[in-house]
């Protein structure tokens, strides 16, 4: 499959439960991983020819990782960026440069982030058409005086279909949400200054 790359400092134990994801989806699917999901390139819907998502289509992808959902950005043991051999921005297979992700993503225990975000030069723009939820905020890049130094600039668009649709077998927080059992209006115990000198309406 070509991943991880040779000399990549990050070790991927074959028993850890990592999933490497990229490509074009026609239909609906959810990818779940016991450890991390590595997004190694554009992950888009079949009808998305512009990189703007497909808000009126039926394609739908869910990515659920117990730990990190992260954009693959390999470095070697010397801290050298290994992404120089990847396609430049604008290529349909660009990755890890200018990555577009059409998906609903969930990191159960950690973050949605960019791997080794502080190493190397800027990688362009990370476009997410969908939604993501995470336990801790993930970092995707660093900036100086408004200019991108390392990692990615953000271009996030919410997929409005996710207000009423979900990828297959996606975790459903609605089933465990709090609901109103009873409610009542109570008169305030105090509504003036000093106490009890003002008549409450």
Stretch 122-129: mean pLDDT = 90
- pLDDT of residue 121 exceeding 90: no
Q: Which two tokens stand for residue 134?
A: 């995470």
How far lies 127's CA from each of 20, 70, 152, 173, 180, in Å? 18, 13, 9, 25, 38
Confidence of residue 196 (pLDDT cuts 50, 70, 90): low
Burial (CB count within 10 angstroms: exposed 0-12, middle 13-18, buried 19+), residue 133:
middle
Confidence of residue 87 (pLDDT cuts 50, 70, 90): low
Closest CA to 10 of 65, 76, 98, 105: 76
Number of residues that this document lists for the chain: 201
- pLDDT of residue 135 exceeding 90: yes
DSSP string, 153-181: EEEEEE-GGGGT---TT---GGGG-----
- pLDDT of residue 46 exceeding 60: yes
Beta carbons within 10 angstroms of residue 158's beta carbon? 13
- For residue 136, what pLDDT is reported? 94
- Beta strands 100-107 and 28-33 are unpaired
């Amino acid at each position: 499959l070509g991943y991880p790359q040779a000399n990549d400092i990050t070790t991927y134990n074959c028993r850890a439960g990592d999933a490497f994801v990229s490509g074009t989806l026609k239909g609906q699917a959810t990818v779940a991983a016991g450890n991390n999901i590595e997004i190694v390139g554009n992950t888009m819907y079949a009808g998305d020819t512009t990189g703007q998502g497909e808000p009126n289509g039926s394609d739908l992808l869910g990515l659920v990782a117990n730990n990190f959902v992260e954009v693959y950005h390999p470095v070697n043991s010397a801290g050298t960026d290994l992404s120089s051999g990847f396609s430049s921005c604008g290529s349909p297979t660009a990755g890890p440069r200018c990555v577009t992700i059409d998906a609903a993503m969930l990191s159960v225990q950690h973050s949605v982030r960019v791997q080794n975000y502080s190493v190397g030069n800027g990688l362009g723009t990370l476009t997410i058409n969908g939604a993501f939820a995470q336990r801790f905020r993930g970092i995707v890049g660093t900036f100086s005086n408004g200019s991108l130094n390392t990692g990615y600039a953000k271009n996030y668009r919410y997929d409005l279909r996710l207000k009423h649709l979900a990828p297959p077998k996606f975790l459903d927080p609605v089933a465990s949400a709090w609901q109103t059992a009873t409610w009542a209006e109570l008169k305030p115990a105090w509504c003036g200054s000093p106490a009890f000198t003002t008549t409450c309406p």
